[in-house]
Amino acid sequence: MVGGRARARSPRQLTQDPEAWPEQIIADPAAEAVRQIARTLAQALDRLGLSLRAAAAGSGVNRQAIADLLAGRSWPDVATIARLAHFTGIALWPDGTNIERNRTH
């Protein structure tokens, strides 16, 4: 599995305070990307006045998969993100401006 042991825990579990999901920045870059996707999707659904059921019906993504993404319980695949982005008309993938890079030179 891509991601190794880090993906054995959900993105939410990688935060210092899981109750702060999706507001608290996460050091792990993959979990941080999922956090940003979940936060952006939640804002989009709220702004568009869409329920999980409506988002599932319109995007073709299972309602539980959307709920798990929003709650930080899952690692969404690219197809899920693409379908949700297409349906909402919102770019969900983070642009990288809020991701800190820890590089050792």
State the Cα–Cα distance between residues 61 and 53, nearest whole angstrom.
10
Summarize pLDDT for 31-70 with one digit per residue, the tens.
999 999 999 999 999 999 999 999 999 999 999 999 999 9
What total of structural domains would you count in the chain?
A: 1
CATH of the domain at 61: 1.10.260.40
pLDDT for 77 beyond 50: yes
Average pLDDT value over all residues in the chain:
89
Domain around 34: 28-94
Query: Which residue is listed with tokens 């197809």?
Result: 79
Task: Evaluate whether residue 35 is within a structural domain.
Answer: yes
| pTM exceeds 0.95 for this model | no
Whether residue 90 contacts residue 40, with contact meaning beta carbons closer than 8 Å, is answered with yes
pLDDT at 12 over 80: yes
45 contacts: CB under 8 Å, gap ≥ 6:
51, 52, 55, 88
